[in-house]
Structure 1
Amino acid sequence: MTIPLDAEPVYVSIAELHAARDQIQRFLLEYRFGMQEIETKISILRDEFLNMHDYNPIEHVTSRVKSPDSLVEKVARKGIDPGFESIREHITDVAGVRVTCSFTADAYRLFDLLTRQDDITVRAVKDYIAEPKPNGYKSLHAIVEVPVFLSTGTVQVPVEVQFRTIAMDFWASLEHKIHYKYAGSVPDHLVGSLKDAADTAAALDERMERLHRELRDHRTAEPGMPV
């Protein structure tokens, strides 16, 4: 596109900039509230396991809401309309919660405990544990909707929740750092090494889960031992 040399410059007032900033902040605030609702639900489950059971499957929980810059970059990358309604429809990971578990079975157990709650609606599930990505990435992803009660009314907010084991999380963190360092152009030999490391992490998960199951069965067999 050619801009005429005599084109009038476009001026944006300070008031307009403030108004645009406030709109974005209000938009992202809804996602922050939705994220906090999910965090509260996970926190309640964790406290219940800590106080009423002998085993807590939740190792740690992290969360984030995309920054305005990150959101703008994703809108441009996906080529969608930049309006708020379009973003609501097409971008479902504006808010994210990651639950790191002890064992693979815990990921599915916590997913079930969260999604069976009456006010949670499941929009989509991607089981990368059962079917890992080609690079070896494993995690259970769920897009859930949770109601957020505002002074202006109730809004349904989508939140991406990821469930993964410690080994899966460790591998994913290192893989992300390597891709960031090489700006996405990772040498082939490192790609192969990462896949081998993913297979090793999966084998470790299987071995640890087997040991945990044997210990649980042993406790069940002994009278008076907590299960």
Structure 2
Amino acid sequence: MVSELDNFSREISNPSTIFNEFKHLMLLYNCALREVDTKLTILNDEFQVIHDHNPIEHIKSRIKTPESIVKKLKRKGFEITAENMKTHISDIAGIRVICSFTSDIYKIFELITSQSDITLLKVKDYIKSPKPNGYRSLHLLVEVPVFLSEKTEPMKVEIQIRTVAMDFWASLEHKIHYKFEKTPPQYILDNLKLCADTVNALDAEMLMLNEEIQKYK
């Protein structure tokens, strides 16, 4: 992290001021991420102990690197300031929840957004309306309070909720685009879209099979 921050300071015109502001902002985002992660972990623990089905397979979380934050602000045409980071980049703190079935996705959505100290800012449902390349996931932008010694700071966290199959496809898609600096060959994109359709069909079949199994309990 130290080397990342050093690189970050070389990218900006007033490093001493923005460097300290950035460190404080990263503290806030890390705290916000822990808040949301704790809420999801508690739900996960409850389902394991009390209920006969746990919708959460696993949880991943991450904070954007300083370099990626700078690149995104530049791409959007904004000056490199802490205020612009907070205002114009919504996915600095991100958490991903992996589920077994598509029905679990909306169950988690209801549970997490019904909590009194979470404010839902935006929903992008790429399951009901997939991206042209076949990407499917439910994206939530929420705001959670971070309680400091002298004030409470509302911070944004992006939550992505998807099935195991959707996550596998998204991981492959990311690797393909990382491999090719520019757009991958069309035949690869076409095959990737076919895989996305297959994943969607598999999710639907697995959900139907699970619902049939539940009838025997």
TM-score, normalised via structure 2 length: 0.91
**Structure 2 CA distance for aligned equivalents of residues 67 and 140 of structure 1:** 23
Q: 2:54 pairs with 56, 81, 89, which one?
A: 56
**Correspondence for 1:198:** 196
What is the distance in 1 between the residues matched to 2:123 and 2:58?
21
Provide structure 1 residue ranges, at least 5 long, that are not aligned to the other structure.
1-11, 220-227
Aligned residue type for 2:71: E
In structure 2, give the amino acid aligned to 1:149: F
* Structure 1 pair 162–104 and aligned structure 2 pair: CA distance change class (3 A): same
**Structure 2 residue aligned with 1:174, among 172, 175, 186?**
172
Contact 1:141 1:160 in 2 (8 A): yes
Q: What corresponds to 2:4 in structure 1?
A: none
Q: Report deviation, 1:19.
A: 5.1
Q: Residue 159 of structure 1 is aligned with which of 154, 157, 160? A: 157
Structure 2 unaligned residues grouped into runs of 5+: 1-9
Question: What are the equivalent positions in structure 2 for 1:1-227 lying under 5 Å apart?
Answer: 17=15, 20-219=18-217
1:101/1:107 contact within 8 Å kept = yes
Q: How many residues align?
A: 205
Q: Deviations over 1:99-125 (max 9, x none)?
A: 000000000000110000000000000
Q: Secondary structure at the match of 2:216?
A: helix
Q: Give the fraction of aligned pairs with identical amino acids, expressed as a percent.
A: 50
Separation of aligned partners in 2, 1:141 and 1:212: 24
**Alpha-carbon distance in structure 2 between the residues aligned to 1:20 and 1:86:** 11
Q: CA deviation digits over 1:121-168, x for unaligned, max 9?
A: 000000000000000000000000000001131000000000000000
Provide the C-alpha distance between the structure 1 equivalents of 2:112 and 2:36, rounded to a whole number of angstroms. 9
The alignment partner of 1:132 has SS state of coil
Q: Is the 8 A contact 2:21 2:82 kept in 1?
A: no
- Higher alpha-carbon deviation: 78-87 or 144-153: 78-87
- Closer/same/farther in 2, CA of residues 66 and 102 from structure 1, 3 Å limit: same
Separation in 2 of the partners of 1:120 and 1:19? 31
**SS in structure 2 opposite 1:218?**
coil
Determine the C-alpha separation between the residues in 2 that align with 1:216 and 1:83: 53
Q: CA deviation at 1:80?
A: 1.9
| More moved, 162-171 vs 176-185 | 176-185
Rounded to whole Å, the distance in 2 between the matches of 1:25 and 1:194 is 39
- 8 Å CA contact retained: 1:81, 1:87: no
* 3-state DSSP of counterpart to 1:53: coil
Q: Deviations over 1:64-118 (max 9, x none)?
A: 0111111001000111232222222211101000000000000000011000000
Scaled by the length of structure 1, the TM-score of the pair is 0.87
